[in-house]
Amino acid sequence: MTRLTRDLYTSNHWGTYCVDVAEGQVTGLRDFPEDPDPSPIGHGIVDVLHGPSRITAPMVRKSWLEGGAGAAGERRGQDEFVEVTWDKVNQLVADELTRVRRDHGNSAIYAGSYGWASAGRFHHAQSQLKRFLNCIGGYTSSKNTYSFAAAEVVVPHILGTFRGFLDTSTSWESIASDCELFVAFGGVPLKNGQISQGGVGAHVQKAGLQSAHEAGVTFVNISPLRSDLDGDVGGEWWPLRPSTDAALMLGLAHVLLSEGLHDRAFLDRYTTGFDRFAAYLKGQDDGVPKTADWAAKICDVPATDIRALARRMAASRTMISVAWALTRQDHGEQPFWAAITLAAMLGQIGQPGTGFAFGYSAMNNIGLNRHKVDFASVPQGRNPVPDFIPVARVTDLLENPGGSFEYDGTTYEYPDIRLVWWAGGNPFHHHQDLNRMRRAWARPETIIVNEWCWNPLALHADIVLPCTTPLERSDVAMAPKDPYVVAMDRAIEPVGQARDDHDIFRAIAARMNVEDAFTEGRSPQEWQRWLWDISRQQAAQAGMTLPDWDTFQRAGWIKLPVPDAPTIMMEAFRNDPVAHPLATPSGRIEIFSQTIHDFGYDDCPGHPTWMEPVEWLGQAEAGWSEQGPLHMISNQPRNKLHSQMDHGAVSRADRPKGVEQMTMHPDDARRRGLTEGQIVRIHNARGACLAELCLSDGIRPGVIQISTGAWLDSDGDLCRHGNPNTLTLDKGTSQLSQGPIAHSCLVNVTAWDGPDPVI
Ligand SMILES: Nc1nc2c(c(=O)[nH]1)N[C@H]1C(S)=C(S)[C@@H](COP(=O)(O)OP(=O)(O)OC[C@H]3O[C@@H](n4cnc5c(=O)[nH]c(N)nc54)[C@H](O)[C@@H]3O)O[C@H]1N2
Ligand SMILES: Nc1nc2c(c(=O)[nH]1)N[C@H]1C(S)=C(S)[C@@H](COP(=O)(O)OP(=O)(O)OC[C@H]3O[C@@H](n4cnc5c(=O)[nH]c(N)nc54)[C@H](O)[C@@H]3O)O[C@H]1N2
Ligand SMILES: [Mo]
């Protein structure tokens, strides 16, 4: 290949960068010139690529190596690892897969393997893992995400599709030109807009928000955190009690109904079931009218403000945004259903700048005006194993083989898992109640993990297969939700003996006589061209031209054209609901869903409903400190993506004392005799973690905030490093969706008088 005369590029979920290399090492990343608001997150990779936490050779846990499958159990996370050759590890893995399949069948392999891995169309860890396992008879899989499982299941019943509308959010241009009032449940968190799955060329959220502000849009930030709305746009802050948004929305809806401010014509033409919902609002079913006063008591915001906001919403061109976080709480289906219903009552859905949307700035692509292109992805093949779990039910799966669970109207059974394989995700980051998960994790006979760094997942595996990072392999970042397509250059040789995930699976496939099925005779380079050629055809169908592969490689990146007109969600449906019906049973917005009603779930009735969360501040329960419980918000970190590069410089810079920082209101600190900068212990019946205390009046009293992402560092049930998932509750949102509920969590906070945490 001819030497490139251009910059080297790398791309990941947090952005595109130019790579500087000297003597075979990455010396730094430079911001992508096209990006007006680059994220610092990417720079976190530089010092850890070759750092001490890098996994440089295949490793097997001593107890597993000596005692065989089933011998590691409780010793996971404890006994040492032994370095082995690739030859040896490949044989161990092939033999173990053969044993498990022969004795227990393929359903005994759990490879739901949830997680974000890295950007890159070919080297997508999960796709490679699943493709490989499908070549040998399949695996137990997982459904939905940790991001918004409740919405993924409930919204299709209401609107026909969730993803379809997530992908067509009304763009910022339309908000700037046509919105007057932007009501943001969970705010517009710019920290999250740094990310977009599969790659980002230019970050637009800050500019989008700013332009709307300059155009005169008024923002209302309904959130326990003031910082969920950028201070530059002003706006009002409504610090409601966490996990009560559904009640607030019902209160707003009741005002609209009782004052006749709802759009009856819209409801008649575009929705079904409003009367059933209205009966509930009026209290005809349960004797409790869902008035502003009723909502005020639950949410702890003044009833006069609720009434005033409802009237303003009806009198203005209003956009309602619901943060994805609202689904990650008990009954997380309800805030989204209630928000859609509220927007339907306002009658502005499908018009410029108004209606509703799911989570502006949850990622860079929400509100970004672009064409969606169905770029090709690695074909995963067919999985003949029907068994699956809703993704967040993984501990239940391991604890309860043969047990049953409900999901979207059907009863299923948990298979008996003997082998777990994770590639490209970190359950010791993402799952709730990690102490409970750690105990369940001792049950499978074998745990295999592909990782590049010694994070807690790798430390809890039996067989660790060292993989490359994107900087050590070539690929293409083509994210269907971003107009930039970027060549991901191989900047350096693989570190140590690390191999690409594809290559790891190829070698094991060879031992199991399925190499041809796995590779189809293509090299990684040939696969990438293949993906490119199909994507080129798909783009052409969408009216866009991708250059040929060689031209693209010479250029390093391209930008696809963006639409001339702003995107307006549900415009076609609004214009003609008969010609463009929704994919629901009625073809309309289902404010009442007969389907869900008929499932008979007491925790998810047939219309938006307020149900008390299992844990929330409205609860008077024993077991909390004298000062009362605190509600813990464990939201996304601003300085990294989840747990990735937590050991890198960017993440560590925000953590001068080594432990994660936690924010508390000064009044709560005073009541507990705590002072700024002190190390505290956050605890409840499920576990504990340490944190450095930061004080701020930008948080609702009674609430604390600690970002996710700190690598678990367990001392019994205490995490010395500040991982909040030692505290969160592992329970499904409801029997309908079984989504995770990290944000519904009560804790105590007390001074830590133990030794300083050593990380
Ligand atoms: N308390 C609480 N918990 C939460 C949340 C919350 O709000 N609060 N949010 C939830 C949400 S929305 C999500 S999406 C999850 C995220 O959870 P995850 O997606 O599991 O978190 P990541 O840290 O991104 O994990 C990705 C892993 O892939 C590895 N990796 C990167 N590139 C490669 C590669 O090329 N090959 C291989 N084999 N591995 C690679 C990284 O080192 C990392 O360990 O967390 C959830 N957990
Ligand atoms: N920098 C960075 N950006 C990210 C990620 C990351 O790890 N780092 N992760 C990405 C991923 S995978 C996802 S899914 C998205 C998630 O996007 P979101 O779900 O929007 O992310 P969160 O930060 O958990 O929550 C947003 C805000 O909701 C508020 N909130 C929490 N509970 C409540 C409540 O009960 N009511 C109200 N009104 N507000 C509440 C919190 O104050 C929080 O700051 O972010 C993406 N963006
Ligand atoms: Mo997510």
CATH code for the domain defined by 59-144+381-479+493-544: 3.40.50.740
Q: What pLDDT does 622 receive?
A: 57
Instruction: State if residue 672 touches ligand 1 by the CB under 6 angstroms criterion.
Output: no
| N-to-C CA span, the chain | 45
Q: What pLDDT does 653 receive?
A: 95
Closest-approaching ligand to the CA atom of 429: 1
Which of 4-8, 120-124, 523-527 bottoms out in mean pLDDT, i.e. has the lowest? 4-8
Measured between alpha carbons, how far is 360 from 337 in angstroms, rounded to an integer? 17
Residue 405's SS3 state is strand
Q: Choose, from 116, 146, 238, 610, the residue flagged as catalytic.
A: 116
Amino acid at 698: G
Q: What pLDDT does 623 receive?
A: 63
Domain 617-751 has CATH 2.40.40.20: yes
- Tell me: the pLDDT tens digits for 128-142? 999 999 999 999 999
* 186 CA closest ligand 2 atom index: 39
Question: Which of 588-624 are b and which e, b meaning 16 or more Cβ less than 10 Å from the residue's Cβ?
Answer: bbbbbbeebeebebebbbbbbbbbebbbbbeeeeeee
Residue 557, beta-bridge partner list: 486
Pocket test for ligand 2, best of 635, 703, 725, 729 (most atoms within 8 A of CB): 635
Confidence of residue 756 (pLDDT cuts 50, 70, 90): confident
For residue 407, indicate whether it is catalytic.
no
Which residue's alpha carbon is nearest to atom 25 within ligand 2? 325
Question: 466 vs 449, 452, 455, 458, CA distance in Å?
Answer: 9, 5, 12, 10
CA angle 119, 446, 100 (to 5 degrees): 105
Instruction: State if residue 149 touches ligand 1 by the CB under 6 angstroms criterion.
Output: no
Whether the pLDDT of residue 395 is over 80: the answer is yes
Measured between alpha carbons, how far is 261 from 251 in angstroms, rounded to an integer? 13
Q: What pLDDT does 700 receive?
A: 97
Check if the beta carbon of residue 339 is closer than 8 Å to that of residue 322.
yes
Tell me phi and psi for residue 555, to 5 degrees.
Answer: -75, -40
Place of tokens 């508390």: 664
Pocket test for ligand 2, best of 14, 152, 192 (most atoms within 8 A of CB): 192
Q: Which residues of the chain form CATH 2.40.40.20?
A: 617-751
Q: How far is the CA of 146 from the centre of ligand 3 (A)?
A: 6
Question: 649 vs 24, 46, 519, 637, CA distance in Å?
Answer: 21, 8, 37, 14
The pairing of beta strand 687-695 with beta strand 661-664: parallel
- Tell me: the pLDDT tens digits for 318-335? 999 999 999 999 999 999
Cα torsion at 129, 131, 137, 140 (round to 10°)?
50
Q: Choose, from 64, 114, 238, 270, the residue flagged as catalytic.
A: 114
Residue 446, beta-bridge partner list: 419
Q: What pLDDT does 604 receive?
A: 98
Check if the beta carbon of residue 682 is closer than 8 Å to that of residue 691.
yes
Instruction: State if residue 608 touches ligand 1 by the CB under 6 angstroms criterion.
Output: no
Pocket test for ligand 2, best of 636, 650, 660, 665 (most atoms within 8 A of CB): 636
Closest-approaching ligand to the CA atom of 366: 2
**Average per-residue pLDDT for the chain:** 97
Q: Residues in the chain, how many? A: 759
Name the nearest CA neighbour of 16 among 453, 482, 563.
482
For residue 237, indicate whether it is catalytic.
no
Q: Please enumerate in sequence order all residues whose Cβ is within 8 A of that of 438, keeping only pairs 6 or more positions apart, or say none.
A: 77, 460, 714
Domain 168-371+567-599: CATH superfamily, name plus number: Dimethylsulfoxide Reductase, domain 2 (3.40.228.10)
Measured between alpha carbons, how far is 540 from 544 in angstroms, rounded to an integer? 5
Q: What pLDDT does 276 receive?
A: 98
Check if the beta carbon of residue 155 is closer than 8 Å to that of residue 161.
yes
Q: What pLDDT does 208 receive?
A: 98
Check if the beta carbon of residue 425 is closer than 8 Å to that of residue 721.
no
The stretch 332-348 carries a mean pLDDT of 98
- Tell me: the pLDDT tens digits for 197-212? 999 999 999 999 999 9
- Tell me: the pLDDT tens digits for 626-683? 778 999 999 999 999 999 999 999 999 999 999 999 999 999 999 999 999 999 999 9
Check if the beta carbon of residue 356 is closer than 8 Å to that of residue 591.
no
Instruction: List residues near ligand 2 (CB under 6 A).
Output: 147, 185-187, 189, 191-192, 194-195, 222-225, 228, 240, 242-243, 245, 323-326, 329, 359, 362-363, 633, 635-638, 641-642, 743
- Tell me: the pLDDT tens digits for 709-718? 999 999 999 9
Name the nearest CA neighbour of 143 among 360, 364, 397, 373.
397
- Tell me: the pLDDT tens digits for 451-505? 999 999 999 999 999 999 999 999 999 999 999 999 999 999 999 999 999 999 9
The pairing of beta strand 703-706 with beta strand 661-664: antiparallel
Question: 327 vs 146, 395, 526, 636, CA distance in Å?
Answer: 9, 20, 41, 14
Place of tokens 């049953």: 404
Measured between alpha carbons, how far is 332 from 245 in angstroms, rounded to an integer? 10
Q: What pLDDT does 3 receive?
A: 60
Q: Which residues of the chain form CATH 3.40.228.10?
A: 168-371+567-599
Of all helices (H) and strands (E), which one includes residue 159?
Answer: helix 149-159
Q: What pLDDT does 473 receive?
A: 98
Q: What pLDDT does 285 receive?
A: 87
Q: What pLDDT does 727 receive?
A: 98
Which residue's alpha carbon is nearest to atom 43 within ligand 2? 635
Measured between alpha carbons, how far is 13 from 55 in angstroms, rounded to an integer? 22
Whether the pLDDT of residue 414 is over 80: the answer is yes
Which residue's alpha carbon is nearest to atom 22 within ligand 2? 635
Measured between alpha carbons, how far is 386 from 23 in angstroms, rounded to an integer? 50
* 118 CA closest ligand 1 atom index: 32
Name the nearest CA neighbour of 310 among 343, 265, 264, 333.
343
Cα torsion at 670, 743, 727, 735 (round to 10°)?
150
Share of the chain above pLDDT 90, in %: 97
The stretch 44-59 carries a mean pLDDT of 97
**HSE-up of residue 700 (Cα within 13 Å, Cβ side):** 22
Share of the chain above pLDDT 70, in %: 98
Measured between alpha carbons, how far is 416 from 387 in angstroms, rounded to an integer? 10
